[in-house]
Amino acid sequence: MATIAREAHKIRWRYLLDRERVLGSLLISPAIGYIVLLVGVPLLLAIYLSFTNAISGHLEADFVGLKNFRTIVSDPIFLQALQNTFIFTFVSQLIVVILAKILALALVKSFPGRPLARFLILLPWVAPISLTTLAWDWVLGASNSSLSVINWTLRAVGVLGPTDWIYWTAFPSSAMAAIILIHVWRMLPFATIILLAGLTSIPQEIHDAATVDGAGFWRRLFEITLPLMLPIVAVAVLFGIIFTATDMTVVYILTRGGPYNSTHVLASLAWQRGIFGGQLGEGAAIAIFLLPLLVIVAFLMLRLARRTEVV
Amino acid sequence: MLRGLKKLGAQISLYALVLLFVAFAVFPFYWMTVSTFKRNEDLFHVATDPAHNPYLFNLPPTLEHLTQLFFETRYVTFVLNTLFVGVLVVGITLLISVPGGYSLARLSGQWGEKLGIGIFLTYLVPPTLLFIPLARLIALLGLQDTLWSLVLIYPTFTIPFCTWLMMGFFKSIPKDLEEQALVDGCSRLGAVIKTVLPLAVPGLLTVVIFSFTLVMQEFVYALTFILSVGKMTISLGVPIALVLDVYRWGPLMAATLISSIPVAILYNLFLDRFIAGFTGGAVKG
C-alpha cells in the first residue's frame, strides 16, 4: 500500500516538474523579452551610435570610428562635465552617508511622533524631482534672487550685509553648491530608510550580550553596529551613486548646465548635444562614459549579494 | 535624579536632532504651501525689506493661484496625460511582472534567483544612457511626440523592479497552499489563481503604487520624446511649460504641491515593501 502511494507520488511529481519547466519559462519570457528588446538592444545601439555620425532626422549613419571620442576628449566642456559628475556624486554621497547614519541612529529609537517624522523625512525622495528642483529654484531664488526667502533669512540673521546677495546660479561655485545641496536633500531619505532597515535587523541580543560584557556605546557602535551594517551601507551608497551620477534633471531644471556650461554633467551634456543639438553620435559617445561606472557598481552589488549569501 | 535628568537631556537632544532634519526635508514643501496661498503683492515683495517677513502671511491668503492653475493653464491636461500613461504602464507592468515574479520564485529552480538578480540589475541601467538610442527607436516606430512612446518605454524601468518585488513576495507565501490545491485536482494555473493570488493582493498593490509613482517622477524620457505642450505629463509640463511668465511662482508652486503630496502619501503606505525590494538579501529577517 505504502509503495503504491510512493509511486503515485513520484509520478505526480515528475509530471509536475515537466510542466513546471514549460510553465516557468512561459511566464518569465515576456519580462525577459521586454528587457532584452528595450534595454539590452538599445544599450548596444548606444555603443554602436557612439561610433557613428548619426544625427536626428536621418536614419542612415556612417561608421566614423573613434572620431566622436576624439572630439569630446579635447572639449573642455566635456572634461568639465566629467569632473562635475564625479564631484557632485562623490561630495553629495559622502554627506548623505554621514547624515543618514546620524539620522538613522536617531530614528531607530521609538518615540512619540516617529511615524510622522519618518513620513516627513521621506518626502524629498518620493516627490517628483523635476518639481522639487523647481521648488528649490524658487526657495534659493535661482531665477529671482531678489525674492529669495534664503537671501531674506541670511540677511535677517546677519550673515549677509544689507547690500549683499547670493546669486545662486550666476557663478559656477554657488551653482555647484546648489546642485549638491539638492542631491543631498533628495538622496538623504533614501539612504536613511535603508540604513534604518539595516539597524533594526541587528538582533538586540548581540547588543545585550556586549553590554553585559562591559562594552559601552562607542565600542558597540564601532565593533558591532558598523561592521554588521557595512553591507547595508554599501547597498545605500551603490544605489546613491547610480541615482546621482546618472541624474540630469536637477542640472537641467536649475541651471541648464550654466553659467557658461560650467555645471553640466555627462547626462545633461549628452542630452544637450544628442537630443537638443541633434548630434546623436556625439551625444551617445558622451553618455557611454557612464557605462564603466555602471559596470563597476553592478559588479560590486553582485559581490555584495554573494557575500550575504543571496546567490 | 541625575540619571533622570540625563535621560531627559538625551530625549530633548534626540528630538532637536530629528526636528532639524525634518525642517531640512520639508522646507521646500512648506515653501510651496506658503507660495500657493499668498497674494502676489505679498509673494513678490523684495527680499531686502527686513520688516516684510516672508514666512508669514502679510496679506490675507488667497485661492487665486489655484483657480489660475486649474482654469488658465494646461495643468489639467498634464494630469490627464499622466493618468493615461500611468494606468497603461501599471497594466503592462502587472501583466508582465506578476507571472515573471511567480516563475522566478517557484518554477525556475536554482537559476530563478540568479535570473532575478540579473533582471533587477537592469533597473540600474539609467534613462540617461538609453534616451539617445530610444529616441532613434521611437522615431523609427513613428511614435515621437505621442503618449504611446512613454507607455512603451516606461515599463523598461517598472518591470525589473516589480518582477523582483513579486519574486520576493511569492517566496514569502507558503508552498503548501498550492500543493494542497494541486492534490485536490486543480491545474497549476488554477491553483495559483485560487490560492496564491488572493494572498498576493498586497504585493499587487505595491506594484501598482510603485509603478505609478515611477511614472509620476520620470522626466528624462518625457523631455526627450514629447514636444507638444498638449502631450506633456506633470513632471515635464509643470517645470517646462506651465506658465511662461516671470511672476509665475504662485500657480507653479500650487502645481508642485498638489502633484507631490498624493504620491508621497501613497508611497509611504507601502514603504516597508520598497525597502525590502532595495535591500534584497543584504538584510536578513
Q: What is the pLDDT of residue B285?
A: 33
Q: What is the pLDDT of residue A311?
A: 29
pLDDT at residue A272 greater than cutoff 50: yes
C-alpha A306/C-alpha B38 separation (Å) is 55
Report the amino acid identity of residue B236: L
By Cβ distance, the residue of B35, B127, B236 closest to A130 is B236
pLDDT at residue B132 greater than cutoff 60: yes
Beta-carbon contacts of residue B111 (< 8 Å; ≥ 6 apart)? none
Phi, psi (degrees; rounded to nearest 5) at A52? -125, 170
Task: Give the distance from CA A235 to its chain's centroid.
Answer: 11
pLDDT at residue A164 greater than cutoff 90: no
C-alpha A99/C-alpha A38 separation (Å) is 37
Q: What is the pLDDT of residue B137?
A: 92
- On chain A, the residues whose CB falls within 8 A of the CB of B263 are 126-128
pLDDT at residue B280 greater than cutoff 70: no
The answer to whether B117 contacts A310, with C-beta atoms less than 8 Å apart, is yes
C-alpha B41/C-alpha B277 separation (Å) is 48
C-alpha A247/C-alpha A142 separation (Å) is 19
Count of C-beta atoms within a 10 Å radius of residue A15 = 10
| B192 vs A133, more confident | A133
Contact indicator for B278, B120 with CB cutoff of 8 Å = no
Q: Quickly tell me which residue has 518591470 as its cell.
A: B159
C-alpha B184/C-alpha B191 separation (Å) is 9
Q: What is the rounded average pLDDT of the residues B200-225? A: 92
C-alpha A162/C-alpha A66 separation (Å) is 54
Q: What is the pLDDT of residue B246?
A: 67
Contact indicator for B157, B127 with CB cutoff of 8 Å = yes
Q: Return the ∠ at Cα B214 (arms to A50 and B254), rounded to 5°.
A: 115
Between A and B, how many residue pairs show a Cβ–Cβ distance under 8 A? 322
Q: What is the pLDDT of residue A5?
A: 64
pLDDT at residue A310 greater than cutoff 60: no
pLDDT tens digits for A246-271? Answer: 999 999 999 999 899 999 999 999 99
The answer to whether A134 contacts B239, with C-beta atoms less than 8 Å apart, is yes
If you average pLDDT over every residue of chain A, what do you get? 87
The answer to whether B107 contacts A248, with C-beta atoms less than 8 Å apart, is no
Phi, psi (degrees; rounded to nearest 5) at A63? -70, 125
Give the best-scoring range by mean pLDDT among A182-186, B4-8, B106-110. A182-186
Question: ω into residue A42 within 30 of 0, thus cis?
Answer: no
For chain A, the structural domain boundaries read 76-307
Q: Domains of chain B, with CATH numbers?
A: 76-279 (1.10.3720.10)
pLDDT at residue A158 greater than cutoff 70: yes
N-terminal to C-terminal alpha carbon distance within chain A = 41
Q: What is the pLDDT of residue A286?
A: 96
pLDDT at residue B283 greater than cutoff 60: no
- On chain B, the residues whose CB falls within 8 A of the CB of A229 are none
Cell of residue B96, nine digits: 508582465
Phi, psi (degrees; rounded to nearest 5) at A239? -60, -45
By Cβ distance, the residue of A109, A231, A275 closest to B131 is A275
Q: What is the rounded average pLDDT of the residues A20-31? A: 85
C-alpha B35/C-alpha A246 separation (Å) is 31
Q: What is the pLDDT of residue A303?
A: 82
Q: What is the rounded average pLDDT of the residues A221-230? A: 80
Provide the 8-state DSSP code for B228. S
Q: How far is A166 from chain B (nearest CA, A)?
A: 12
CATH fold group of domain A76-307: MetI-like fold (1.10.3720)
- With bands split at pLDDT 50, 70 and 90, how would you rate the model's confidence at A207? confident
- On chain A, the residues whose CB falls within 8 A of the CB of B11 are 111
Cell of residue A36, nine digits: 532584452
Taking the model in full, what pTM does it have? 0.90
C-alpha A179/C-alpha A52 separation (Å) is 33
Q: By C-alpha distance, which of B246, B239, B250 is closest to A146? A: B246
C-alpha B168/C-alpha B183 separation (Å) is 25
Q: By C-alpha distance, which of A308, A227, A277 is closest to A72? A: A277
Q: What is the pLDDT of residue A11?
A: 61
Q: What is the pLDDT of residue B233?
A: 96
N-terminal to C-terminal alpha carbon distance within chain B = 39
**Among A131, A136, A165, A181, the residue to mutate for chain B (most B Cβ within 10 A):** A131
The answer to whether B268 contacts A126, with C-beta atoms less than 8 Å apart, is yes
Q: Which spans in A108-225 are helix H?
A: 114-126, 129-140, 149-156, 172-200, 204-212, 217-220
Q: By C-alpha distance, which of B209, B115, B111 is closest to A35? A: B115
pLDDT at residue A174 greater than cutoff 80: yes
Give the best-scoring range by mean pLDDT among A70-79, A106-115, B58-67, B186-195. A70-79
Lowest mean pLDDT among A19-23, A297-301, B227-231: A19-23
pLDDT at residue A20 greater than cutoff 80: no
C-alpha B201/C-alpha B116 separation (Å) is 21
Q: What is the rounded average pLDDT of the residues B3-8? A: 82
Q: What is the rounded average pLDDT of the residues A271-297? A: 93
Closest residue in B to A279 (Cα) is B132
Contact indicator for A109, A101 with CB cutoff of 8 Å = no
Helix A41-49 to helix A280-288 angle, to the nearest 10 degrees?
A: 110
Count of C-beta atoms within a 10 Å radius of residue B152 = 22
Beta-carbon contacts of residue A28 (< 8 Å; ≥ 6 apart)? B99, B100, B103, B104, B108, B115
- With bands split at pLDDT 50, 70 and 90, how would you rate the model's confidence at B284? very low
The DSSP secondary structure of B119-174, one letter per residue, reads HHHGGGS-HHHHHHHHHHHHHHTT-TTSHHHHHHHTHHHHHHHHHHHHHHHHHTS-
Phi, psi (degrees; rounded to nearest 5) at A162? -60, -25
Q: What is the pLDDT of residue A141?
A: 85
C-alpha A72/C-alpha A284 separation (Å) is 11
- Buried b vs exposed e over A231-257: b needs ≥16 C-beta within 10 Å? bbbbbbbbbbbbbbbbbbbbbbbbbeb
**What is the ipTM metric for this complex?**
0.90
C-alpha B171/C-alpha A221 separation (Å) is 33
pLDDT tens digits for A41-71? Answer: 999 999 999 999 998 877 788 899 899 999 9
Q: How many contiguous H segments (helices) and E segments (strands) does chain B have?
A: 16, 0
The answer to whether B133 contacts A266, with C-beta atoms less than 8 Å apart, is no
